[in-house]
A = this chain, B = another copy of it.
Amino acid sequence: MKVLIIGGAGMIGRKLSERLARDGTLGGREISALTMYDVVAPTAPKGAKFAVKTATGDLPAAGETDKLVIEKPDVIFHLAAIVSGEAELEFDKGYRINMQAMQNLLESVRHAYANDARKPRVVFTSSVAVFGAPFPDKIGDDFHTTPLTSYGTQKAIGELLLSDYTRKGMLDGVGIRLPTICVRPGTPNKAASGFFSNICREPLAGKEAVLPVSDDVMHWHASPRAAVGFLLHAATIDGDKVGARRNLSMPGLAVTVGQQLAALRKIGGEKVVARIRREPDPFIQKIVAGWPSNFDPKRAVSLGFKADSSFEEIVRIHVEDELGGAIA
């Protein structure tokens, strides 16, 4: 089977490609070829037994998505996006990449596979940003999508398009709303949600981190490993079981900052937690207060999507996958 990852240079795209290289199969079928595409050059995973091609380009440019599906991949992961903060500052750029390119991709697939009985599975990464405050205590599967950012709006539109093209039999889409990914590897960034990862990643590596909110702030987390698991499951799940509602809130862990700290202490000891400096930041506190913090993702759970078991597991995954097991 042929696999295409759009957005293959991002953290999730890279981890997904590494997992595919390790497994060699997807849903029990042997992978024959993988194409990784992004605006910057993706890195091919090491040790793949199948051919890996990397490509770069401007996804929403005319004809670009046509070129991407010319070899008719069986599974298309569409992970490419302008992130929340940038989509808010760059209105046109956000719509161009997050909405126009999505529509172009669906159109390209529709026409490329028009005469094929078997349509490709298109896995679309949506986001909990499709929801906007005020929220119930737990956001259920039938809560409306009233986003409060352009990014959330664009993702919600992508979900609607994915459902309609699927309903019309033009392709076979599954959209997954990812929780905040934690612990995000790499360097600290200025995203308002960055601290949830920073307070884990930096102290575990012997560095200081800043905590701008109080211990009782709750948030909805999934590890990078769990996120890759969601993607693989979305790529292989029986579409009939998903039914007409093609977009699913993924399971996650509703964890307070206090519980994050307790898990860090358990795994890294007091010396690790001591590297976190409290610096209350009303600006970040206000943004975080507008985010959804807890879900009741019954459908995804019943369909077999699996969250991490605890925040300790999330921290352990980071130590194993990013630090080679060593805590500073």
A185 within 8 A of B: no
Task: State the Cβ distance, A227 to closest chain B Cβ, in Å.
Answer: 23
A144 touching B144, Cβ below 8 Å: yes
A150 within 8 A of B: yes
Task: State the Cβ distance, A12 to closest chain B Cβ, in Å.
Answer: 24
A156 (CB) vs chain B CBs: closest residue: B160
A194 within 8 A of B: no
B142 touching A143, Cβ below 8 Å: yes
Cα(A167)–Cα(B150), bound, Å? 9
Task: State the Cβ distance, A171 to closest chain B Cβ, in Å.
Answer: 13
List, in ascending order, chain B residues with CB within 8 A of A156's CB.
Answer: 160
A153 touching B163, Cβ below 8 Å: yes
A94 (CB) vs chain B CBs: closest residue: B164
A55 within 8 A of B: no
A244 within 8 A of B: yes
List, in ascending order, chain B residues with CB within 8 A of A132's CB.
Answer: 244-245
Cα(A147)–Cα(B142), bound, Å? 13
Cα(A163)–Cα(B142), bound, Å? 20
Given A91-B168, A244-B132, check contact A153 B160 (CB 8 Å): yes
A193 within 8 A of B: no
Listed by A's residue number, 28 A-B pairs whose Cβ atoms lie within 8 Å are: A91-B168, A132-B244, A136-B142, A141-B144, A142-B143, A142-B144, A144-B144, A144-B145, A145-B145, A145-B160, A146-B244, A146-B245, A147-B160, A147-B163, A147-B164, A148-B167, A148-B244, A150-B164, A150-B168, A153-B160, A153-B161, A153-B163, A153-B164, A156-B160, A157-B157, A157-B160, A157-B161, A160-B160
Cα(A132)–Cα(B163), bound, Å? 12
Cα(A136)–Cα(B144), bound, Å? 14
Q: How many residues of A contact B (CB 8 A)?
A: 23
Copies in the complex: 2
Cα(A164)–Cα(B98), bound, Å? 14
Segment 68-125 of A: residues with Cβ below 8 Å from B:
91
Task: State the Cβ distance, A98 to closest chain B Cβ, in Å.
Answer: 11
Cα(A135)–Cα(B148), bound, Å? 25
Task: State the Cβ distance, A162 to closest chain B Cβ, in Å.
Answer: 10
A92 (CB) vs chain B CBs: closest residue: B107
Cα(A145)–Cα(B145), bound, Å? 7
List, in ascending order, chain B residues with CB within 8 A of A142's CB.
Answer: 136, 143-144
Cα(A219)–Cα(B71), bound, Å? 48
List, in ascending order, chain B residues with CB within 8 A of A168's CB.
Answer: 91, 150
The 0/1 profile, CB within 8 Å of B marked 1, for residues 239-255 of chain A is: 00000110000000000
Q: Which 5 A-B pairs have the closest CB atoms?
A: A153-B164, A142-B144, A144-B144, A146-B245, A153-B160
Segment 156-189 of A: residues with Cβ below 8 Å from B:
156-157, 160-161, 163-164, 167-168
